Structure 1
């Protein structure tokens, strides 16, 4: 089985969740081939080869990020002390294609190709989530979304992840197999 995990990450939280999902897939199927990479590196050939495509991103302004929300996040991050690594990741993500543009280049697939969607979000009333929009776009490309979209919680807009979320992501990844 070949699983491809594509993510967009501004502060590292979504990347950490994606990597934990990959670990969970490996735990459930040690022989599985798993590629886990940012949207900017996920080309059509790689996604076409997947038996399972898992896509995730951060929640910005109640849904999927946009070019504007990524630039705003990168600008805010560069002004925070002691967050140089997160600021560099935010800047790289803001300058590259986000999931919205990645979906424009994603070829439609044959029905029967499995997919799953996740996001990172804050735990606040009416905070929204990106996972439903991701799942909708996957369905629009003829992927069969095999589980309900999943949200993983960050403690503040830029993290850290809530305690236990990496373990929950590993379990969710294992459950996809």
Structure 2
């Protein structure tokens, strides 16, 4: 089985979840070929070869990020002392393609190609989540979404992930196989 995990990450939290999902797939199927790629490196050739495509991103303004929300997040992170690594990742992500634009170039697939969606989000009543929108876009591209979209909680705007989130992502990834 070939799995491709594609993620957008501003502060590293979504990247950490994507990497944990990748580990979970490997635990469940040690023979599986699994690639974990930022959205900027996930071209149509890579996704076309997947038996399972897992896509995730951060939640911004109740849903998937936009160019404006990524730039706002990068500017806010740059103002924080002691957050140089996160600020660098946020700046890199803000200047590149986000999931919204990536979906425009994602080719439609043949029926039977599986997919799953996840996000990182704040734990507030009004925060919303990006995973539902990601799952809807996957379905529009004819992917068979095999499980309900999953959210992983980030404690502050820029992290850290809630305790136990990494292991929960590994278990979720293993369950996709």
Fold shared per TM-score above 0.5: yes
Q: 1:117 offset after TM fit, Å?
A: 0.1
- SS class of match (1:124): coil
Give the Å deviation of 1:157.
1.0
Q: What does residue range 98-113 of structure 1 map to in structure 2 within 5 Å?
A: 98-113=98-113
CA distance in 1, matches of 2:65, 2:155: 18
Aligned to 2:61: 61
Number of residues paired by the alignment? Answer: 177
In 2, Cα distance between equivalents of 1:97 and 1:43: 11
How far apart are the structure 2 equivalents of 1:46 and 1:3? 10
Report Cα offsets for 1:91-124 as digits up to 9, x if no partner.
Answer: 0000000000000000000111000000000110
Partner of 1:96: 96
* Partner of residue 47, structure 1: 47
> TM-score, normalised to structure 1's length?
1.00
Runs ≥4 in structure 1, deviation > 2 angstroms? none
Task: Kindly report which structure 2 residues correspond to 1:126-145, keeping only aligned pairs within 5 A, or say none.
Answer: 126-145=126-145
For structure 2, the residue ranges without an aligned partner over 5 or more in a row are none
Please give the alpha-carbon distance, in whole angstroms, between the structure 2 residues aligned to 1:101 and 1:32: 29
TM-score by length of 2: 1.00
Q: Matched residue of 2:47: which SS? A: helix
- Residue equivalent to 2:21: 21
